[in-house]
Amino acid sequence: MKYAVETFDLTKNYGDFTAVDKLKMKIRNKSIFGFLGPNGAGKTTTVKVLTCLALPTSGTATVAGYDILENPNEVRQKIGMIPQMVSLYGDLTVKENIHMCADFYGVPEDLIESRADELMEMMDIKYAENKYVSQLSGGMKQKASVVASLIHQPDILFMDEPTIGLDPTTKRILWNLVEELHSEGRTIILCSHDMYEVELLCDDVGIINNGVLAAFNTPQALKDAMINEQKNVKNSKRSNIAKIVEEIQKEATPEEYAAYDKIKDHAEEENRDTRQLSVIISNLNDELFNQLKNLSITYNITKQSSGRITLDILDSDESVTEVISTIIMNNGIITSISTKDPSLEDVFVKVTAKKKEGGEI
Amino acid sequence: MVETKKLKWIFKKDIMVLWRHKPRLISYLLFPIIMITLFGYGFGGTVTDIPVVIVSQSSGPVTDATINAIKSESLYDVTSIINDPNQGRQMVLNGQDKAAIVLPPNYDDTQSSTPKNVILDIDSSDEIVSSALIPTTQALFSQLSNQIGVQQLQASGLTPSSVSSSTINVLSGNQSTILSNPTTSGINFENIVNSINFQVNKLYGNISYIDFLVPGVLALVILFSCMFGMGESIAGERERGELARLFMTPTSIATVVGGKILSKLVQETGRAILLIAVAIGLFGIVIAGSMLLTLLLLVLVALCFVGLGMMISARVSTQADYQQIIQPITLPMMFLSGVFFPVETMPWIFQKLAYLIPLTYANDALRAVMLKGAGLGAIWLDIVVLLGFTVLFFGLGIRGFNRDI
């Protein structure tokens, strides 16, 4: 099976509102897929439909090789879900909830105890197995929910914002679990607003906006595409302005020609390819600062009291080398250096910028 | 100190929430209208229009005057006039009429001194009807007796002032009691003045008010428990996301609903047994019919109301909506079903509505078994109707069950 999930014009309407609009998407088997989207974009609705918790209005999908409309029970047997909108029974203990879920999934009786113990140990919840779920904290409830969702060893695990509201330690436990499940060959579909989490864990990322898949690729490819797009936009702007100015200059007087040249230079300067470099120099002094400021590849430079300087430099590998060489030649001591490339968050903001009016899904 | 701005917001918020939940709002407005209509038109005054059959074995002016007198009383609704006492009694036993007023063959014979034995065969399982019908009928015939007696005395040249009282024989089961027996100046006026012997024949013996209430209360307890319970069980679990956990697994709606029904049935049967035990222990009620049949009926009633609760809760997403929606269903049902007021005495529109309510059949069947000692043969129609309602509720409930989370 090449794809764990494949959707075919999947659509879900709530009255007049289209939450998911003819969605076409393929999620590779055994991958960790990050499913992103702004609030109300159709992310949770898509997950509900894929997990057979809601029927699509039209279109269909296959999950684990089974059609969600024709074989919903086979789909349910193959998937697990750590959901936002689902809870365990508050008046049952953690253990009772897990055993109940195991029976609902048809886990053989002799395997339930050992699997439950193993998962509870892994999620660090074993010590609370006899507590009522209603007595647990949010994080503990989430851990118990994870155990209940994995008790039948699903091939595909849907996680809908699983780390929201969790402390950093619990987050790491969940991330480790995701990686472990991935290494066992399971497919993970992770809905999240935490871009760090998605970049850290996911092989592929899909961004849904207004019910439509707006972007789909690996996180790095999405970022690269954004860098290239930014460059292309700037190149195009530069080229267009140059063409217009040259056209005007054909009939200009020498004084006007020089003035138009200045306009062209300014436009080129405004649209040049730059990147941001951040350097911490422990022994930064005015002389070194001025040296860096006067470099031909430096366009903007700011200094902070901590010794950190931020430079906008010409976007080329040589530019970074030139900055480092200058610092070293002036006996500067570099304690930290980083370049600022577009992040997945930048990609997300750009892709989802165009938001039509609509209600919460 | 009350902060007015915040107070205003809290008030405004509650009104806005109610306005935005249309089913809740409709139900909220409908409920008081239904209740006031029921009480205003149905249960606002005394009991009237009790269906009775008159068994007339004689003919003549006295019989005609008596029938007219009965017909003119708003308490009675004379459904038929026949001449066979056994048929009249059977009509009461069948539940067609609440009482049979049996006029004897010598009723029109004003010359004879033989007492006229008027018998009231009454359905004593209906306490409300009995307590209204017996004293009124008794008074009516006492008055008629005096009038006939006065006519006889006048015919004999005597004055009515010499009459002191009337004789009433009240037959209760096998007991007969002479209330008074006057004689004056050596003339036996008894046969003249007290020309009517009025006998009450309680077909199901003496039934106390608590005996009368218990079957209806049992059905009511089951109704409320099932209806409120199913709200928590389905709408509540849906609201908290617990139901979604079950629906994430390869589990059919029928399984989930079946499990909930089973649990509710066990709870309700247990509660019904407890209620019967308490009623027997504390109030000494007697179940005239089969205990097993009573229990089976209670299970069927519970099943029916679980179905009704399930049908409603399957379509709503919050408990608050559910509670508001069932209010205008359950409370009118309580008053229309005959638990407290006889269906036969209600305005015709309410009578028609009563027969669309499962509680009416539950109440009827339970009273028949518990008070009249009826068997399966006598209540089969109630059972069929209850089964029909149950199938309908479950069918609609499962069909309309919203599995979407």
What is the tens place of the pLDDT at every residue in B19-73? 888 877 888 888 778 777 776 666 655 678 889 999 988 888 888 888 888 988 8
Pairing of strands A58-63, A66-67: antiparallel
The answer to whether A133 faces chain B, any CB pair under 8 Å, is no
For residue B16, what pLDDT is reported?
86
Assess B20–A contact: CB distance below 8 Å, yes or no.
Answer: no
Q: Closest approach of chain A CAs to the CA of B233, in angstroms? A: 12
Which candidate in B248, B255, B402 is best for mutational testing of the A interface (most A CBs within 10 A)?
Answer: B248
Phi-psi region for residue A307, left (φ > 0), alpha (ψ -120 to 50) or beta? left
In Å, the largest CA–CA distance within chain B is 97
Q: How far apart are CA B121 and CA A99, in angstroms?
A: 63
**CB contacts, 8 Å: A86 with chain B:** 241-242, 244-245, 248, 405
> ipTM of this predicted complex?
0.74
Find, among A34, A28, A102, A36, the residue nearest to A64 by Cα.
A28
pLDDT over 50 (residue B329)? yes
- % of chain B exceeding 90 in pLDDT: 16
Q: What's the one-letter identity of residue B366?
A: L
Please write down the long-range contacts of B152-156, taking CB distance under 8 Å and 24 or more positions apart: B152/B110, B152/B192, B152/B193, B152/B195, B153/B189, B153/B192, B153/B193, B156/B192
Q: Does the beta-carbon distance from A74 to B250 stay under 8 Å?
A: yes
Alpha-carbon distances, residue B260 vs B72, B229, B233, B254 (angstroms):
54, 10, 7, 10
- Yes or no, beta carbons of A85 and B244 under 8 Å apart: yes
Q: How far is B256 from chain A (nearest CA, A)?
A: 10
How do residues B152-207 score in pLDDT, each as one tens digit? Answer: 666 666 554 544 443 334 333 333 333 333 434 444 444 545 578 888 888 888 88
**Residues of chain A contacting B248 with CB distance shorter than 8 Å:** 51-53, 76, 81, 83, 86
- Each domain of chain B, given as residue ranges in start order, spans 50-202, 208-399
Closest-CA residue of chain B to A45: B405
Closest chain B CA to residue A97: B245
What pLDDT sits at residue B41?
67
Q: How far, in Å, CA of A242 to CA of A28, rounded? A: 45
The bridge status of strand A58-63 relative to strand A3-14 is antiparallel
Report CB contact under 8 Å: B250, A86.
no
Whether the CB of A132 is below 8 Å from some CB of chain B: the reply is: no
Contact check, Cβ <8 Å, B245/A148? yes
Hey, are the CB atoms on B403 and A53 less than 8 Å from each other?
Answer: yes
The verdict on A359 touching B (C-beta cutoff 8 Å) is no
Asked if the Cβ–Cβ distance from A101 to B245 is below 8 Å, we say: yes
- Measured CA to CA, the distance from residue A153 to residue A135 in angstroms comes to 27
- Please tell me the distance in Å from A60's CA to the nearest CA on chain B: 16
pLDDT value at position B233?
85
Q: Are B124 and B206 in contact (CB under 8 A)?
A: yes
- In chain B, residues with a C-beta closer than 8 Å to the C-beta of A55 are 403-404
Interface test with chain B among A47, A53, A86, by most B beta carbons within 10 Å:
A86
Judged by a CB distance cut-off of 8 A, whether residue A76 touches chain B is yes
Chain B partners within 8 Å of A101 (Cβ): 245, 249
**Topology (CATH) of B50-202:** abc type-2 transporter like fold (3.40.1710)
Strand extents, DSSP E, chain A: 3-14, 17-28, 32-36, 58-63, 66-67, 79-82, 156-160, 187-191, 204-209, 212-217, 274-281, 298-303, 308-314, 334-340
**Per-residue pLDDT of chain A in tens (361 residues, 90 and over written 9):** 789 999 999 999 998 999 999 999 999 999 999 999 888 889 989 999 999 989 999 999 999 999 999 999 999 999 999 877 668 898 899 999 999 999 999 999 999 999 999 999 999 999 999 999 989 988 899 899 999 999 999 999 999 888 887 889 888 988 999 999 999 999 999 998 888 899 899 999 999 998 999 889 898 888 888 777 777 777 777 778 778 878 887 777 887 888 888 877 777 777 777 778 889 988 888 899 999 989 888 888 898 877 788 988 887 778 888 999 999 999 989 988 888 777 888 888 888 885 444 333 3
Mean pLDDT of B234-255: 87
Q: Tokens for B58, please give them.
A: 């004689």
Q: Give how far A85 is from chain B: nearest CA, Å.
A: 6
A148 in reach of chain B (CB within 8 A):
yes
Helices and strands in chain B: count of H runs, count of E runs: 15, 7
Q: In whole numbers, what is the pLDDT of chain B averaged over residues?
A: 81
B251 touches chain A (CB under 8 A): yes
Of A72, A74, A87, the CB nearest to B242: A87
How big is the A-B interface in CB pairs under 8 Å? 56
H or E segment to which residue B335 belongs: helix B319-336
Q: What is the pLDDT of residues B377-398, one digit of tens each?
A: 889 999 999 999 999 999 898 8
Amino acid A18: pLDDT: 92
Residues from chain A contacting residue B242 (CB–CB below 8 Å): 86-90
Q: Do B244 and A73 touch (CB under 8 A)?
A: no
Greater model confidence, B292 or B206: B292
Amino acid in position A8 = F
CB-based contact, A104 to chain B, within 8 Å: yes
Amino acid at B223: L
Taking an 8 Å cut-off on Cβ atoms, the answer to whether B242 and A89 are in contact is yes
* Residue B138 CB-density burial (10 A; 0-12 exposed, 13-18 middle, 19+ buried): middle
User: What token pair was written down for A30?
Assistant: 């055994």
A306 Cα to chain B: minimum distance (Å): 47
